[in-house]
Structures are given as C-alpha cells and as structure tokens.
Amino acid sequence: MNMLSEGRPTKQEDNLIMPDSTEPKTFTGNRALMVDEPLIFEIGSPDRSGVDLPEAPEVESRLGGLDRKTPIAVPGISEAEMVRHYTRLSRQNYAIDVGLFPLGSCTMKHNPRLNEKMARLKGFADIHPLQPVESVQGALGVINELAVWLIKLTGMHGVAMTPKAGAHGELCGILCIRAALEARGDAREVILVPESAHGTNPATAAFAGYKVEDIPANSDGRVDLEALKKRLGPDVAGVMITNPNTCGLFEPDMKAISDAVHAAGGFVYCDGANFNAIVGKVRPGDLGVDAMHINLHKTFSTPHGGGGPGSGPVVLSEALSPYGPLPFTARDADGHFRLIEEETADEDHPDSFGRMSAFHGQMGMFTRALTYILSHGADGLKQVAEDAVLNANYILRSLEDILDAPFAKSGPCMHEALFSDKGFANGLTTLDLAKGMIDEGYHPMTMYFPLVVHGAMLVEPTETESKAAIDQFIGAFRSVAGRAKAGDELLKTAPHFAPRHRLDETQAARKPVLVWTEPEDFAEAAE
C-alpha cells in the first residue's frame, strides 16, 4: 500500500487497473489478497450496539473514585459483522497452510497435524511450569527424551533446553564460551563472524560484550580459510559460523576451521538454523563444533513461535557442557526426574553461568518436536535432509537459465537456492520481482540476503513440498523473472491485484502509523 503525506493508506479504488491492453498478465491467474477490509472502527459506530442490554443497576462503586467518566469509544457492530470482519482479515494472511512459502533461511515447512494433536493432549496442554516436579514426571520425561535425541543427532555431549528461540540460543552458547574462558583466566575480546553467517550472529556477539570482526568469503561463497587462520590470535574468543551457510552451501573446510580455532585457544559456535539440510547426514560434533543452537521450527517442524515463545535448544561439547545454563533435567538412578535449580547447582552444576529464563524451555514445542522425531525415526530424518536438498537443487537448476545463480558453478546447493537480480532491464530490481510474485499468489522469497550477493533472492522449498507444488512455483517465478529481464515497467508498480498499492517502505519505517486516530465525528459520538 502507498503511504500518503498524512500516513494514511490509499483505498482499493486507487489501486484498480482496468482490463485493457496495459493490464498485467499473471502466470497462474491468482489474484493475491482479495478484499480491501476497512478498520473495525470504520465499520461500526459508538452510538449503536449489536445487542440489547438492560440498563445497569445503580450500585456503589468499589473503584475508589477511578470510575470511567466517559463512554468507551468502541465500535458498535453486530456479531455477524464482527465475525465477517476478522474472517476477511484472516483470508488476507499468507501462511504455510495456504501455499508454498519460499522464504530462504526461514525454513517455512509444513507442521504435521499429528504434532498438534499430541501437544493438545491433556497432561501436556494444561500443565503449569510451577507445578511440583512430582506431578510432571511425564513432561520432564518428554524433555529428557528430546534432549537425548538432540545430543545423538548432533554428536555433542550435552544440551541446554531453556533458550526460547534461535537468537536466545546463540546468546546461551556465547555465554557458555565466555564462562569457559573466564574459568581458565583467559580474557579474550573478539568473536570472528564470516560474511556468510546469519545476521543475528554478530548482533549476539556484540550483545554479549565482544568486538566483532568479519571474515571474508571466497569466490565460491564459502569461508576464506586462509583469511581466518591469519586473523586467529590470543584475543579471539571464538568464531560464529553458519553451516550450511546463508549462500545455501556446505562448508567443506569446517573441520579445518574448528581445528585452527581450537589450536588458537578459541571455541567454535555453529549457527544451527540450517541443520534441516544435514540432520541425519552430518553430526556437527564430529566437525569440532563446541556449541550450536537448534531451531525446532526449522528442523523439527514446530510452528514459528507457536503462539508464544519459540524454542532454541543449544547442544554443547564436552568442553562447554559444565558451563551450560540452569535449570536442566536430570534423571536419578531410580528413574525419577528432577530439575537442577540454583539451590542444588553448587553440588550438581557448579560452573553454570546462571539462568537464562524464568522457566525451563517451552513444553508445547518440545512435545511437537519429539512427536516429529519419533514419527520419522533416524532413517526418516535422514530422508528429510535428502529431500530438502533435492528440492532446492531442483529449483536451482530449473531457474539458472533465466536467473543469475552466482554460485551454481560451485556445485550443488544444500537446502536453499540463491539467485541475484543481475540482468534485469530498465532499472528493475529484486524488490520489483518480489512484488510481482504477490500478484502470482505467492509470498516473496527472502530478499537482499545474504549481503555477499547483490540483489539476492534466497529460495528454500523445504522437504515438505511436492514436485507439483514446486513446478507451479517455478512456473510463476520464471514468468515474473522473464518480465524483469524484458524490462516490463508494470513490475515497478506491482502488486496490482492486492488490496493496496506498494508500500512506501522508507516512509513506513520512519513514520509508521501504529495507532488509529478517531475522526472528530467519531469522538463526538462517543461523548
């Protein structure tokens, strides 16, 4: 949508393109979002009500003089109007249950309904984190079993289950590294972050108090090993590396990187956001990784966020396990589970850097992830990685003849295919292609990331998409890419079939309209 000078969006009638020779053509015939839905305040009026209510009886107030003096300015609408309003709004959402979600790096995969059914079982859905440990032995057993699976799949020594998300897990791993260095009296100040790493990595290192230095990528889109070795020294606490990296490529020098960092006295943090591409195939622990967070939504199919905190467990090497956070689940010889808290930490976990959150993990995500793991088994998880890589390479090879694929000659990609806007005509950009994809009925791919590629377009189909679904996406992508290379000026004003024009993104970022301001007549009616 456009942002006008006063910050209000344009209406649908400003967005219409009459059916003549200049009307944009689409590959699929989809018309993206469907209706221009006004705000609920614009539908209703405060001077009417959707129901008849009796006059409230006079009662003595218990609010100590804090009673409301004026009516509440809420919209007066019927139940049917309200239901239709929110239903129409919901139809404007794009979600994995609507169609293929091509966001690279985000791994927007299908969430099996079996997982949801298990998470809603009585005993999982209705427990509380402050219940006595004796009353949640089954829940702690689920957490423990999931932890065992994560350790086995990664080849690591221990795991911290408390982090609530990937970035929270990154911080957990870096704090473990800091604690290990402090324990040996080794004050180091620098974390090295390759250009091909996730963008949260340098932010996490800086938040933990470290100076961040870049390590360049080579011409193949991978870490420049010699540049890394040259920079290592007594001030380097460690390296934060993403593998497979954000170019969608596996780092073949990963073991050599780890060996070099360890020889220099540092630790290796691996961003596990892309573990989906190698689960069951490669164990990061075998590559010398000391800490790695695991995004349960990316690899083990839990919803993004899940209606609350997400979950980003962190697996740790033997060198870092003693410094992991509290609390954690322990199993006694008699099979009884308990939580190691601060009260018992001196005896059970004396070197922990402390607590990261009020409660232990996210039960809903743990239940879903374990269900996913058990329903696949070890062989099935291996196939998850194989299918994810197969689908991404199918997209890469199906589009490399029409789109620039900067690292296609380096060999197969992993779980995501990377393209650029090189070759677009008439000043058209990645943004224009992305907006054109909305007219085709698709959420755009990840844009302008990774930063090592100009006009980057990162596409990740995941393993849950069928060939038929991918073929339709490829057809739409080819159609819009062909228009961009031919210089189709209509792409500069896309999307044309959504309720709003293209957003003025600069204005929206600098002067966002976050609160609805009631017109004078609305305010007068409320009085």
Q: Has residue 16 been placed in a domain?
A: no
Q: Write out the chain's pLDDT in tens, 527 residues.
A: 333 333 333 443 344 444 444 555 656 544 554 667 788 888 887 777 777 778 878 888 888 888 888 777 788 888 898 998 998 888 888 888 889 999 998 899 999 999 999 999 988 888 998 899 999 999 999 999 999 999 999 999 999 999 998 999 999 999 999 999 999 999 899 999 998 888 899 999 999 999 999 999 999 999 999 999 999 999 999 999 999 999 999 999 999 999 999 999 999 999 999 999 999 999 999 999 999 999 999 999 998 865 566 899 999 999 999 999 988 888 888 889 988 886 666 777 889 999 998 888 889 999 999 999 999 999 999 999 999 999 999 999 999 999 999 999 889 999 999 999 999 999 999 999 999 999 999 999 999 999 889 999 999 999 999 999 999 999 999 999 999 999 999 999 999 888 777 888 888 889 888 877 766 655 554 45
Residues 186 and 180: their CA atoms lie apart, in Å, by: 9
225 and 353 assigned to the same domain: yes
The CA distance from 482 to 500, in Å, is 24
Residue 18 lies in a domain: no
Give the model's pLDDT for residue 159.
96
Rounded distance, CA 220 to CA 27, Å? 34
pLDDT computed for residue 100 by the predictor: 94
In angstroms, rounded to a whole number, what is the distance separating the alpha carbons of residues 367 and 139? 9
- Is 319 in the same domain as 393? no
Q: Which two tokens stand for residue 91?
A: 């139809």
Residues 6+ apart with CB under 8 A from 199: 449
Distance CA(146)–CA(140), nearest Å, equals: 10
- Count of beta carbons in the 10 Å neighbourhood of residue 57: 5
CATH number at residue 402: 3.90.1150.10
Domain count, the chain: 2
How far from 319 is each of 170, 324, 460, CA to CA, in Å?
17, 10, 34
Judge if 301 and 335 occupy the same domain: yes
What is the reported pTM? 0.86
Residues 6+ apart with CB under 8 A from 422: 404, 406, 454, 455
Range of the structural domain that residue 397 is part of:
383-498
Here the CATH number for the domain that contains residue 186 is 3.40.640.10
Q: Based on the domain organization, do 353 and 405 belong to the same domain?
A: no
The residues with which 240 forms a beta bridge, in sequence order, are: 269
- Among the three residues 370, 405, 423, which one is the final residue of a domain in this structure? 370
- Whether residues 137 and 276 share a domain: the answer is yes
* C-alpha–C-alpha distance, residues 179 and 271, integer Å: 19
**Predicted local confidence at residue 328, as pLDDT:** 84
The pLDDT, as a whole number, for residue 255 is 97
Q: Is residue 30 part of a domain?
A: no
Greatest Cα-to-Cα distance within the chain, rounded to the nearest angstrom: 82
The answer to whether residue 98 sits within a structural domain is: no
Of the residues 316, 346, 370, the one at which a domain ends: 370
ω into residue 495 within 30 of 0, thus cis? Answer: yes
Same domain, 301 and 156: yes
410 with 458, same domain: the answer is yes
Within its chain, how far is the Cα of 31 from the centroid? 27
Q: Residues near 301 by Cβ (< 8 Å), separated by ≥ 6?
A: 109, 110, 111, 112, 115, 368, 369, 372, 464
Residue 445 lies in a domain: yes
Residue 422 forms part of a structural domain: yes
**Dist. CA 27–CA 290, nearest whole Å:** 48
Query: Is the preceding peptide bond at 327 cis, omega within 30 degrees of 0?
Result: yes
Q: How far apart are CA 57 and CA 53, in angstroms?
A: 12
Helix or strand (DSSP H, E) at 366: helix 363-399
Continuous segment of H or E residues that includes residue 268: strand 267-271
- For residue 160, is it within any domain? yes
> Does residue 493 share a domain with residue 415?
yes
Helices (H), 212-361: 225-231, 254-263, 296-299, 342-348
Judgement on whether residues 405 and 352 belong to the same structural domain of the protein:
no
pLDDT score, position 519 = 61
In a domain, residue 82? The reply is: no
Q: How far is CA 199 from CA 79, 214, 273, 383, in A?
A: 45, 12, 12, 29
